[in-house]
Amino acid sequence: MHLKKKKGLQRAFAGMLAMATAFTMQPHMLGGLHIVPSKTTVKAASTITTKNANKFTWDNANVYFLLTDRFNNGDKSNDHAYNRGLDQNGNVINYNDKGATFHGGDFKGITDKINEGYFTDLGVNALWISAPYEQIHGYVIGGDGSESYAHYSYHGYYVLDYTDTDKNFGTEEEFKTLVDTAHKHGIRIVMDIVMNHSGYNTIYDMNEYGFGTLKNGWQDAYFRSSGINNSTYHGVIDYESSSTDWGKWWGSNWVRSGLPGYTQGGSTNQLMNLSGLPDFKTESTNTVSIPTFLKNKWTKEGRYNEEVSKLNSYLSSHNMSMTVRNCLTYWLQSWVREYGVDGFRCDTAKHVEYASWKTLKNACVEALDDWKSKNPDKALDDSKFWMTGEVWDHGVYKDEYYTQGGFDSIINFSTQGAGLLSKNRVAGTYQGFADSINSDPDFNVLSYISSHDSVLTRGNSIYNGSAFLLCPGAVQIYYGDESDRPYDNTAAANGQHNLRSDMNWDSMNQETLAHWQKVGTFRNNHIAVGAGQNAALETNDGVAFSRTYTNTAKDISDKIAACIGCTSNTDVTIDVSSLWADGQYLVNAYDYSCAVVTNGKVTFNSGANGTILIEEPDGMPLASVIGNPWFSGTETVTLTLSGADFAKVSVDGAKKFIAHDGDTFTIGETAYPGDVVKVQVEATNEYGTRTATFSFNKLEEEIIPTSAVPTPTPSQTVTPSEEPSPSPIVSEGPVIVEDTVYVKADFVPYVYAWKGSSTPLAGSWPGTKMTQTADGYYKLSLGTSDDYNVVINNGSGRQTKDITDLQGGTWITVKSDMSYTIDKQIQSEIPASSKDILYVEAAEAPYAYAWKDSSTALAGSWPGTRMSEKNADGYYVLDLNSTDAYNVVLHNGSGKQTKDITGLTAGTWIKLNSDMSYTVVKTGGSSTNPTPAVSTQPATPSPSTTVQGTGKHTFTFKVASATGAAPTIYIWDDAKCYTNAFPGSTMTEKDGDYYTMTLKSDSTSLNCIVSYGNSSTQSSDITGITGTVTITNEGSTFKNCKVEKSAPVESNYSKLKAATRSIKNLTAENFTTETYNAVYAFVKEADALIALGEDNADKASVDALLAKEKAALDSLQLAKPVVNEIRSGATTISGTAAYGCTVTVTVNGKTYTTIADDITGIWSVSVSSIRTGNSVKVACTLDAYLSNSITLTV
């Protein structure tokens, strides 16, 4: 917004700032901005209640799981510790596949991010890091192919030595710094640990530590960049001849292994060699000695006697014999006793007996208590050592892992993929979790949606962030969930290395990140979110609930309410009468707007991301900017303010101005149609400063955003003479199988109906003309059983208000003035035979992604829901909570999937094979009366030269086919698919070596899968495409294709809009008259070009004008600062300068800096006493702009 001010106004206003509160009772002008003051009284800060319920408990933990190697590289000097990734001459090996090599992340990189506040901003209160101890030095083979890859233990699951840090991660001192720094920031450290198995034998370690039998020529097999495979690698290892050689490794008393002289692994979970790994004999009571290779290693490092002495001392003091279990326990608890580690995440927990876990837990509880007693200044609180475990497929139930194994928590697999958190299931999930978890103080789970072992849940990251972070119990973010970190499409999918890409610091989705930060912080601030009792709340949109928590022993109480999955930018009314009395001020912590409880209800706007987080005030100022979130032309908005006398307001970065509670001002004057207008409000009181940003959308001409779902505008506005009478849902009447509207009126009514945010049910406006029935009502069936909304109208401009949140059958009487009454409602009853229920016979629990219509998800966004429930017949069962025709994709969660299985109805039985081929056994019936189905064959992709799509973002897909055959591409986003059903559409257009496809969408990010028309040749999901993606394969599949993404190229027309808008928002007084006038002179010409639209504006004219504007902007110069009179002996220098600029004052070579006030421009600095003859130089900077300096001699 360009606020053109009269010359000298800023100086005059400076003198009036002290009288700001007097302005509230009279209209005033601020540089052409008309502010209309309110006559309401501003509430004093002292009337605001301070609440603080962020007391830590593991029951409300917000855990952030990162792979140390993939997170952040803070010290490149340790990237090749132990010669990892180097050849015999110390040169870096350029592996064909680097997906399982060390990438450089380390302790220092994590510490740096802690200090930057990255985790604090996310509301994270615990960090789960990779096992920090020393891993096997060499690599093993990653897969069975003739061309495989080097697999190093970058993830920390192949231990070599528990007693030292892995030098790729850093030193012991750096680990200590990491833990101490985390504690200073209120963050606990959870170590990933393995007690089940050691690391594999590698060629490199065998040579380094002298165990096993290596053949001549092993160097040629090991030090290579390609041709890495099992045959070559294991061909230089003699696995059969010498039990003596292999006894120099761990030894037969320590591990089970298929090596000479060792015991072979058993068939039970506790005795098996998981994935061929050496299995520690933790159940054995036999006395062991230090393994030979460790003795050699420690001797070489000069610490053998020290390590043996410490081990013996611990065992002796605890009356423990030297068994495998007790040695591992000592080594692991040492990390707790030495560094103050707060908890363990125990890998492969079901493969170790309960007694060993209980021994470890008891030892670590003692160790942490000991560390806290010796380091009281570092201890965060008196919380006991915490232990969670990975038990594959474990859900929300209490068992022997808690009662016998000593676990405080077990990882909850049921939320993987976020299917249980989908909008139509989340309320039940929350209730079930809270009822189970938070009614038992000795029971909790750690829920997650993405994992290093199975899937990256991307889909709708905004909704998933809300639903997941507000889950009862503890939650675990997998690094990059909050930033839409993509798959590593260059890494092999077997071994799940593609799930472990480097943290996307340079390509973070800032919108997703900001959302997760807000919801995560809310969770961390409120113990009730994870640890409280859950209750559903009534709302007119979204899913609303409350959480309440009381701990009388610790004198902690907390309560919150929230509503998620709301229609964007919609006023949402929530019944909070069970929580707060009328008159209570409440805050939406998502945007810091405030409201008052009235008649037991409170109303907040859902904002762009459909999330409302309700809490009591914390004492800091509360502000909202109220106005139509979607507007044409300009919009008058109102500031509401509580807890502060005034606020500083800026529109789109323009000059800040003072406003008070109830003041109105106009926005949109400098914005073009389609732009987002942002209003920033900053208010301060004794509790602190709160800054909030409110967004408004200026509509394109004659475009109604689907997310807003405004009521169609009639030719004549009609105000109903009375409010509709409330009518409860009743059970009497006919059985309603689908939604049906009955209307009694003295005219033939039309019904405009929709569900969700915008899905029409009876055609576009004005809808469908109704048919009269014998009982006098007009009737229209809507063909759905979902909740719906209607507007009744006469087809020619007269209409009711929106009649919302209807279900089943609704009888409405509409009067001639368009007021109405709801006579009755009958909730729909779904016959069992009509319910959409999926039954799948499979060897392992599959994932189901289900949808109806073109894109409406039924089991959560991709990858959907893991089917964990089995019926008596052995089928996995999933109720889709729908009665409409539907479609599914079944998959294993990590790249292997069926084609789209479409046109299903009611109950469907599918037999799923391990290769993802399938047979639809039956469909279209209940479990007692299914209809046999014709065997379904996967569809052949149909060719397509054009992909339909409209929107303001352009996406280009370029695929190079090594075979020459035309590839098939499947493209989708959170809302819909852009191609034919999976496997998609055949690409036919070519540009040189590439098959190409271009489409437009309003989505900011798309995803794709490429193949040769079948699942055996398909790529993994290629996600986070924002502009152009180039895909290149080698060979006959796309399984290991190379993917390059580039950001969208912004057109010069869009750049001209942005540049011109920035010029309009400049503050004239900040710049020299000459340079400001030079840049502003282009605005009129730019407005005329922009008004033509991108398709009609002459491109050459746009390009030329953009170049001129950029040159003029680059030449802008800040006005010289003004310096007040300086006298000899003064210790302060003051003056005025550009609003908010940085002022630099140099006195005889010594420099001082300060910031000019952003309202008045006044600045001052304290300096050493000025003497006659001193030279004083003053200059200022603002963003990239500089002023000429002014030099004075005293």
* Catalytic position from the list 205, 279, 390, 616: 390
Token readout for 254 is 């320590």
Peptide bond before residue 766 is cis, with ω within 30 degrees of 0: yes
1126-1130: long-range pairs with CB below 8 Å, 24+: 1126/1170, 1126/1176, 1126/1192, 1126/1194, 1127/1170, 1127/1194, 1128/1170, 1128/1171, 1128/1172, 1128/1194, 1129/1169, 1129/1170, 1129/1171, 1130/1167, 1130/1169, 1130/1170
Token readout for 559 is 């309560």
The answer to whether residue 661 is catalytic is no
* Catalytic position from the list 79, 205, 245, 347: 347
The answer to whether the beta carbons of residues 438 and 839 sit under 8 Å apart is no
Helix (H) or strand (E) holding 8: none
The answer to whether residue 1157 is catalytic is no
Distance CA 267, CA 264 (A): 10
The answer to whether the beta carbons of residues 647 and 682 sit under 8 Å apart is yes
Q: Provide CB contacts within 8 A for 456, sequence distance 6+.
A: 450, 478, 480, 481, 485, 486, 487, 499, 1023
The answer to whether the beta carbons of residues 589 and 85 sit under 8 Å apart is no
* Per-residue H/E/C for 195-254: CCECCCCCHHHHHHHCCCEECCCHHHHHCCCCCCCHHHHHCCEECCCCHHHHHCCCCCCC
**DSSP label at 1075?**
H
Taking CA atoms, 499 is separated from 453, 464, 479, in Å, by 7, 18, 10
Distance CA 442, CA 439 (A): 9
Q: Quick check: helix, strand or coil at residue 1057?
A: helix
In single-letter form, the type of residue at position 526 comes to H
The answer to whether the beta carbons of residues 941 and 1013 sit under 8 Å apart is yes
Token readout for 511 is 């919108």
Bridge partners of residue 1181, in order along the sequence? 1142, 1186
Taking CA atoms, 942 is separated from 488, 526, 853, 947, in Å, by 29, 53, 20, 12
Query: In this structure, is the dihedral angle defined by the CA atoms of residues 767, 772, 778 and 779, taken in order, positive or negative?
Result: negative
Query: In this structure, is the dihedral angle defined by the CA atoms of residues 376, 382, 385 and 386, taken in order, positive or negative?
Result: negative
β-strand pairing of 630-631 with 688-698:
parallel
List the one residue out of 924, 735, 729 whose CA is nearest residue 829.
735
How many CB atoms within 10 Å of residue 787? 14
Distance CA 396, CA 390 (A): 13
Based on the number of CB atoms within 10 Å of its own CB, is 304 exposed (0-12), middle (13-18) or buried (19 or more)?
A: middle
What is the crossing angle of helices 1052-1064 and 1083-1091, to 10°?
A: 140
Taking CA atoms, 781 is separated from 672, 785, 808, 883, 1062, in Å, by 42, 10, 10, 15, 51
The answer to whether the beta carbons of residues 281 and 255 sit under 8 Å apart is yes
The answer to whether the beta carbons of residues 316 and 113 sit under 8 Å apart is no
Place of tokens 């101890």: 133
The answer to whether the beta carbons of residues 229 and 141 sit under 8 Å apart is yes
Helix (H) or strand (E) holding 834: none
Q: Residue 413, by phi and psi: left (phi above 0), alpha (psi -120 to 50) or beta? A: alpha
Peptide bond before residue 983 is cis, with ω within 30 degrees of 0: yes
Point out the residues that are catalytic. Answer: 347, 390
